[in-house]
Structure 1
Amino acid sequence: MFQQAMEGLRVVENGTYLDGTFGRGGHARGVLQRLGGGGRLLLMDKDPEAIAVAEREFGADPRVSIRRGSFADLANWDAAQSGLDGVLLDLGVSSPQLDVGERGFSFGKDGPLDMRMDPDSGESAAQWLARASEQEIADVLWTHGEERMSRRIARAIVARRAQQPLERTADLAQLIAANMPRSKPARGQKEIHPATRSFQAIRIHVNRELDDLAQGLDGAHAALKAGGRLAVISFHSLEDRIVKRFIARHAKAPPADRRLPAAAPFVPTLRIIGDAQKAGAAETAANPRARSAVLRVAEKLLEAAA
């Protein structure tokens, strides 16, 4: 959704922008092409491999500053505290992370059961599955993956680890598949691997993705200048729901409750820019992952409106 994201950010020549999910730099290149000599681009990513790419490709550009870390902490970066004209967040796992089996994200490529976006921080998926209770595993699979067989899968994981640790993605994928009922996809729909939802849920939990998103949205809202744009690309309903509700909370007055004392007048601090956007047919044909992408854009209101 490159073009839609660039249009949503509405880059101004001498503005300051933050790309909180650098990945491999597709959006960063687009922003830099639109910036003049007085513009600035702040780049963040948890992944050391992404940061290495950023340093190699953009480290010599005086307009660019690079920081390894989660966008959850963007408001604490000194470079962002003078105000931002735009913040871009492209959520979820990146294609390079999925394509390398050693990172442990993919059930289709065998590798160590890791799943950490920052491999130097926190527990790996294998470490978490080795210590979490059956109830905790089931709760994560249901809450973050909406997996209907969450209890059965959790029970199977606990039984398996009592005999042998789960240390490979292929082992976990096979265990999940063996405990899922077989069903044919509806006509016209592609078959989904039985481990899809569970892998998503474990990845989200290990990386604190939803907590980071909530904190990062607050940070972006605080750092944006009046007229600055927030553009967020989500890839599943849990993320998109958080983004949609966050924007609405700052853009729309809550419903009045006559049973409560009159509240202070609602003062919006964001303006919703257009409807949620999805990738077009050409993009989804070239990049099937884009099928589930949703872009939402909001603008920080002028100080005079507050």
Structure 2
Amino acid sequence: MSKHIPVLLNEVIEALNIQPGGSFVDGTLGCAGHSKAILEKAGPEGCLIGIDRDKEILEFAKESLQEQEGSSVCVWGNYKDMKKILENEKTNQVDGILLDLGVSSFQIDTRERGFSFMQDAELDMRMNPNEGESVQDLLHRISEKELADILYEYADERRSRRIAKLIVEKRKKKAITRTSELAELAIKAYGRRGKSHPATRTFQALRIAVNNELENLHTFFQNSLSCLKPKGRLCIISYHSLEDRAVKLQFREWAKEKSCELITKKPIVPNISEVKVNNRSRSAKMRICEKL
């Protein structure tokens, strides 16, 4: 298990306004870094329900949380189904909900999961390897136009058409099954390496697509406030502009309806010290609202 550094940890604990004996949901449990700190703050009477799509990482989180005071339940599932999960756990409402969107360090660093262009592996990228189609399946199925649209809409890839064309030409000769093969096509489309790796946006867009990341977020919004007690807080950390925009617009809509109060008018971002220690936190943005 790679070393896990929870993003904006101190800011999350402050944002959730944790009181002794409080109840919380971590909808993206991961390695339980945030959850352990939440339980520590909530004390021996505190309780937490952790949800994750990744069964492998869930087992690690479960062991990690057993060392912590307070009660915890780890559920294999998708945060979009939070209301149903809470009902199954005989819980109606909680004091706070955290979502830390994006890919965990464990998933990125586990070569076999196929999330990273930095190491060769089977091209997969599913957060739940038991569900849905992999990236290689997606690349085999969709049209050149559909692929270009995904690259542009989900990652603002300015060379989306060129990359899509190269992928389609390649797959006519041989199926694209390796992360290195996909990365090489992105490099070819750019002709040279710039400040960031040419495959960065391509990998981001395809990961978002196969995991239905934006659809899951919008489904979650439909019932999320009903899962919170009055004065309960919802804290969401996002890592790319599409997610952050979706969160910002939803929070504003709720505030306009007088359903919640915006705790943050502008997103909270990591300070320079945190980014130096954990470079993967550099694009994180956290927004908070409180149910009225």
TM-score (norm 1): 0.88
1:206-265 deviation digits (Å, cap 9, x = unpaired): 00001111112333212111000000111111110000001000002xxxxxxxxxxxxx
| Other-structure match for 1:287 | 278
Q: Distance in 1 between matches of 2:142 and 2:243?
A: 24
| Other-structure match for 1:70 | 78
Q: Distance in 1 between matches of 2:220 and 2:119?
A: 31
Q: Distance in 2 between matches of 1:8 and 1:45?
A: 21
Seq. identity, % = 41
Paired residue secondary structure (1:292): coil
* Structure 2 counterpart of 1:36, from 33, 39, 43: 43
* Structure 2 counterpart of 1:112, from 100, 122, 129: 122
Q: Is the 8 A contact 1:156 1:175 kept in 2?
A: yes
| Other-structure match for 1:88 | 98
Q: Which runs of 4+ in 1 moved over 3 A?
A: 59-62, 181-184
Q: Is the 8 A contact 1:80 1:223 kept in 2?
A: no
1:25-80 deviation digits (Å, cap 9, x = unpaired): 11011111012333210000111122111222235876111111110100111237
| Other-structure match for 2:212 | 208
The question of 1:100 aligning with 2:110 is answered yes
Q: Distance in 2 between matches of 1:80 and 1:211?
A: 26
**AA partner of residue 99 (structure 1):** D
1:134-167 deviation digits (Å, cap 9, x = unpaired): 1111111011011111111111111111100100
| Other-structure match for 2:5 | none
Structure 2: gaps (5+ residues): 1-7
Paired residue secondary structure (1:203): helix
| Other-structure match for 1:273 | 263
Q: Is the 8 A contact 1:74 1:80 kept in 2?
A: no
Q: Distance in 2 between matches of 1:30 and 1:62?
A: 11
The question of 1:298 aligning with 2:275 is answered no
Q: Distance in 2 between matches of 1:201 and 1:86?
A: 30
- The worse-fitting range, judged by mean Cα deviation, of 217-226 and 236-245 is 217-226
Q: Is the 8 A contact 1:100 1:109 kept in 2?
A: no
Q: Is the 8 A contact 1:59 1:66 kept in 2?
A: no
Count of residues in Structure 1 that have an aligned counterpart in Structure 2: 281
| Other-structure match for 1:17 | 24
**AA partner of residue 121 (structure 1):** E
* Structure 2 counterpart of 1:7, from 14, 24, 43: 14
Q: Is the 8 A contact 2:32 2:65 kept in 1?
A: no
| Other-structure match for 1:234 | 238
* Structure 2 counterpart of 1:177, from 165, 183, 187: 187
- The worse-fitting range, judged by mean Cα deviation, of 289-298 and 47-56 is 47-56
Determine which structure has more spread, i.e. the larger CA radius of gyration. Answer: 1
Paired residue secondary structure (2:181): helix
TM-score (norm 2): 0.93
Query: CA 1:181/1:25 → structure 2, altered by over 3 Å: closer, same or farther?
Result: same
Paired residue secondary structure (2:130): coil
Q: Distance in 1 between matches of 2:75 and 2:64?
A: 14
The CA RMSD over aligned residues, in Å, is 1.5
**AA partner of residue 209 (structure 2):** H
The question of 1:158 aligning with 2:158 is answered no
Paired residue secondary structure (1:158): helix
Structure 1: gaps (5+ residues): 185-190, 253-266, 302-306
- The worse-fitting range, judged by mean Cα deviation, of 105-114 and 36-45 is 36-45
Query: CA 1:183/1:174 → structure 2, altered by over 3 Å: closer, same or farther?
Result: closer
